[in-house]
A = this chain, B = another copy of it.
Amino acid sequence: MEFTAEQRLDDDVLEREFTLGEIPGILWTPGPAPAPAPLILLGHPGGLRRMYPRLAARARHCAHDGFAAATIELPGGGDRRRFAVVEQARADLRRALEAGEPVDDDIVSRLVLPLVDQAVPEWRAALDAILSLPEIGGPVGYSGGVIAIGVRLAVVEPRISAALLFAGSYVPRAMFDEARKITIPLQVLLQWDDEGNDRQLALDLFDAFGSTEKTLHANMGGHTGVPRFEADSANQFFARHLR
């Protein structure tokens, strides 16, 4: 991991850009950090530059409660090498949605599975690098989408102790068996009228999660309409499980 830029934000949060091989990422750490901070990995749909304002706001909100936060670019996202098979599937998904057709599991599988297969080892490598820094402690939480990446990470990565999953993207049926294997505490966010997601699929996925502690927060509105108060609720969730 190589730091490429750093700035101290006006709330004293330290923001550092880094690269991990070819993968760009950002790490935010709380201002005066007396002890190693627990870490929250911030999931997103890809395109770090485009997502930056929202990611930075989420990260700073984490930092204000004493958490470090980090994110990396997704495979095929931002300036990274295009991911042909996923782009084809994304075009098929867009076409189906525009035509008002049901989104079939084949498209979802072609869109999501290759992304998960490539992204998850990258997140784990980022975790290795970030947890080696003295200012970062454990335990680790995952927060956000792509929900299928969060699901896979929650199953395979034992350092992740709790996950706040944003049910704002499709999950292939093949991953429901993985969902059943999750045992860590979950908080699941669902936008009731998400234009790019299937409500019933999200409810079925919530039902499938194997965790005994899982909470669904469903709010009105579309994909980007998650209410502001959910950010506080997220920090309270992580405070219960990462301290």
Q: With an 8 A cutoff between CB atoms, is A50 at the interface?
A: no
Residues of B within 8 A of A216 (CB): 192, 216-219
Task: Choose among B212, B227, B240 the residue that contacts A229 (Cβ–Cβ < 8 A).
Answer: B240
Q: With an 8 A cutoff between CB atoms, is A232 at the interface?
A: yes
Residues of B within 8 A of A211 (CB): 220
- Chain B: CB-nearest residue to A237: B229
In the assembly, what is the distance between CA of A216 and CA of B218, in Å? 5
A220 to B: closest C-beta gap in Å: 6
- Each complex incorporates copies of this chain amounting to 2
Indicate with 1 or 0, residue by residue over A32-63, a CB within 8 angstroms of chain B CB atoms: 00000000000000000000000000000000
Q: With an 8 A cutoff between CB atoms, is A215 at the interface?
A: yes
Residues of B within 8 A of A217 (CB): 215-217
Say whether chain A's binding surface is mostly helix, strand, loop, or mixed: mixed
Q: With an 8 A cutoff between CB atoms, is A4 at the interface?
A: no
Chain B CB within 10 A, most for which of A207, A212, A219, A220: A220
**Could you name 26 residue pairs across A and B whose Cβ atoms are closer than 8 Å?**
A192-B207, A192-B216, A203-B203, A206-B218, A211-B220, A212-B220, A213-B220, A213-B227, A214-B219, A214-B220, A215-B217, A215-B218, A215-B219, A215-B220, A215-B227, A216-B216, A216-B217, A216-B218, A216-B219, A217-B217, A218-B218, A229-B236, A229-B240, A232-B236, A233-B233, A233-B236
Closest CB pairs A-B (n = 4) = A216-B218, A215-B219, A214-B220, A217-B217
17 other A-B residue contacts (CB within 8 Å) besides A192-B216, A216-B219: A192-B207, A203-B203, A213-B220, A213-B227, A214-B220, A215-B217, A215-B218, A215-B219, A215-B220, A216-B216, A216-B217, A216-B218, A217-B217, A218-B218, A229-B236, A232-B236, A233-B236
